Amino acid sequence: MQHRRPRLSTTAKTLTAGAVALAAAAGVTVAQAGESSKKCAAFDTVTLGKYYVNNNLWGQDRGTGSQCVWGNSANGSTISWGTNYTWANNSKGTDADVKSYASTVLGWHWGWKADRASTQLPVRVGDRKPVRTTWEFSLPANPGTMNVAYDLWLHTKNTADWQDQPTDEIMIWLNRQGGAGPLGTRYGSVSLGGAMWDIYQGDIGWKVYSFVRRANTTKASLNLDDFTQALVRRKLLSNDKYVSGIEAGTEVFKGTGRLDTTSYAVTVG
């Protein structure tokens, strides 16, 4: 249920995307139209500097409903964005089926949308470069069955493009609601970033590792290298793999809610 269908919008459906990217790269605050200019079609995108927000409705054929995304601002590496959704199961779907993963994307997602150099990806796992991230967000009181999570994509080479299937996927669950659970079986646990995480492993044609935070949070400050190295130490991941893409958003199984990201950033090195 973690599979992100390999589709990427080929049309730059953004609000003055070039100007936004240039200004954000220069450290200038850029105001977007925000929630008044939602993108609601499947795989619509909004460019925010080196990132883009992807309305990734990869599981919509198992549900009835919709999801929208919007961008609020970009200031250097820090962005603000949001998404709202409503999903129910259809005749093909169950409570275990993810309907969508609206998310911000840095780097690879079955190809490259932003300028590759600006992302500073891929990063070889064994090089031990810090990949620092901060994320502050809010959820409504009853957001349905869903999670808020990072999603990292890994390849065996540093030249992965649209045709290259990942070898590994690492999810980092900060918050889960309504009984949402990860793919696979529990492998163990680890203390990272001031919190305890349960590690799950599964396989959907590539290896999927999920770190599920035992206590929900709406604020995180992490070094993603800590998570890849936790897998290396357990001989679940090799140092010669490359982190090609870093995403962050909400997997929705069912329900009505929204995710408002007030501040999100990733810096490499």
At 85, which CATH number? 2.60.120.180
Worst-scoring range by mean pLDDT, 4-8, 54-58, 141-145?
4-8
Please, which residues have CB within 8 angstroms of residue 253's CB and are 6 or more apart in sequence? 87, 95, 96, 97, 98, 99, 144, 145, 146, 178, 180
For tokens 């992302």, what's the residue? 119
Q: What is the mean pLDDT of residues 206-223?
A: 98
Task: Say if 70 falls within a structural domain.
Answer: yes
CA 232 to chain centre: 21
**Beta-strand relationship, 207-213 and 168-177:** parallel
Query: In the structure encoding, which two tokens stand for residue 19, read together?
Result: 């100007």
Q: How far is Cα 151 from Cα 247, in angstroms, rounded to an integer? A: 5
The pLDDT, as a whole number, for residue 11 is 27
Alpha carbon dihedral 192, 224, 75, 8, in 10-degree steps, equals -130
Task: Say if 3 falls within a structural domain.
Answer: no
Task: Say if 27 falls within a structural domain.
Answer: yes
The pLDDT, as a whole number, for residue 114 is 86
The pLDDT, as a whole number, for residue 25 is 45
Q: How far is Cα 256 from Cα 233, in angstroms, rounded to an integer? A: 39
Task: Say if 55 falls within a structural domain.
Answer: yes
Task: Say if 1 falls within a structural domain.
Answer: no
Q: What is the mean pLDDT of residues 161-185?
A: 98
Please count the structural domains in the chain. Answer: 1
Task: Say if 105 falls within a structural domain.
Answer: yes
Amino acid at residue number 232: V
Q: What is the mean pLDDT of residues 85-95?
A: 97
% of residues, the chain, pLDDT over 90: 86
Q: What is the mean pLDDT of residues 73-102?
A: 97
Task: Say if 9 falls within a structural domain.
Answer: no
Task: Name the pLDDT band for 36 (thresholds 50, 70, 90).
Answer: confident
Q: What range defines the domain where residue 64 resides?
A: 17-268
Task: Name the pLDDT band for 33 (thresholds 50, 70, 90).
Answer: low
Q: pTM value?
A: 0.90
**pLDDT higher than threshold 90 for residue 151:** yes
Q: What is the mean pLDDT of residues 170-194?
A: 97
Task: Say if 101 falls within a structural domain.
Answer: yes
- Supply the mean pLDDT for the chain: 90
**pLDDT higher than threshold 80 for residue 45:** yes
The pLDDT, as a whole number, for residue 32 is 57
**Beta-strand relationship, 242-268 and 185-192:** unpaired
